């Protein structure tokens, strides 16, 4: 894979959405959504952040307002292109967050940034086993009924979407592609970060056990810490305040959580 080069403003606007631009912010928080999720999955977060932190969220191709674009078929390549598009945003210290599939994309993007000399303040991986421990499932190869049952098991999808034929078909198309990204992903042997890593796990989340969470310590030479939350797999969306508070606390002296809005 070729190394990414500098991206232009058009690429950045296509890939990254900043709902509340803060030119004077001292830190940027770059977030990667879960599988099937749009950039707006974190729309409530910016109201919980202090003025010193600007929120920017990736919009994957084929999702939301990029639905006319082809869906990605390789997770590492997706991460590299997203990382390339974010280069203009790395003009100040930045932290990285990813939930579920987004945790894997965030890891690969952070690897790319570190290769280019941009080390994140911290990578926070939420709701996903470490890259080398990703579960061997095959939902992307199964029928619609099995995939829909899996989505219902995880929850987080509004019932009107499930009840509408056209919306349900769109959901299944995007979800199948994103499951394929995760289920065919294989991290490169020996790939390791230098940035510190925080692992977020919800106590009622079936997608990440405490044992699986410990595996993230093997993908960085920096320190790794673990944080547990109440809730299920979609707790960052349904109850974002504790997650955002922990992210701010982890940034330490870079930004004070006491300065919240």
- Respond yes or no: is residue 126 known to be catalytic: no
Residue from 100, 249, 256, 259 carrying the catalytic annotation: 100
Both structure tokens of 9: 């403003």
Q: Which residue has the tokens 């290769």?
A: 115
Q: Single out the residue of 214, 17, 15 nearest to residue 109, CA to CA.
A: 15
Torsion angles phi and psi, residue 58, rounded to 5: -75, 140
Q: Which residue has the tokens 């977030």?
A: 31
Whole-angstrom Cα Rg for the chain: 17
Distance of CA 127 to the CA centre of its chain: 10
| CA distance readout (Å), 27 to 55, 89, 121, 261 | 9, 10, 9, 15
> Hey, which residues are catalytic here?
100
């Amino acid at each position: 894979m070729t190394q990414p080069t500098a991206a232009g403003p058009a690429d950045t606007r296509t890939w990254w959405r900043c709902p509340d631009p803060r030119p004077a912010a001292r830190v940027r928080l770059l977030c990667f959504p879960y599988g099937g999720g749009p950039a707006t999955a974190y729309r409530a977060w910016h109201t919980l952040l202090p003025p010193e932190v600007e929120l920017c969220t990736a919009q994957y191709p084929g999702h939301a307002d990029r639905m006319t674009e082809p869906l990605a078929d390789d997770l590492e390549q997706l991460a590299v292109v997203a990382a390339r598009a974010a280069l203009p945003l790395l003009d100040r210290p930045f932290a990285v967050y990813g939930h579920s599939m987004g945790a894997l994309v965030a890891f690969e993007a952070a690897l790319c940034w570190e290769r280019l000399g941009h080390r994140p303040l911290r990578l926070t991986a939420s709701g996903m086993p470490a890259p080398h421990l990703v579960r061997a499932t095959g939902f992307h190869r199964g029928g619609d009924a099995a995939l829909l049952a899996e989505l219902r098991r995880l929850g987080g999808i509004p019932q009107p979407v499930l009840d509408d034929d056209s919306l349900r078909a769109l959901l299944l198309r995007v979800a199948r592609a994103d499951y394929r990204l995760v289920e065919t992903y294989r991290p490169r042997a020996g790939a390791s970060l230098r940035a510190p890593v925080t692992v977020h796990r919800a106590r009622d989340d079936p997608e990440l056990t405490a044992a699986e969470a410990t595996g993230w310590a093997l993908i960085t030479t920096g320190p790794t810490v673990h944080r547990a939350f109440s809730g299920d797999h979609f707790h960052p969306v349904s109850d974002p305040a504790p997650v955002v508070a922990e992210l701010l606390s982890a940034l330490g002296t870079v930004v004070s959580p006491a300065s919240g809005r």
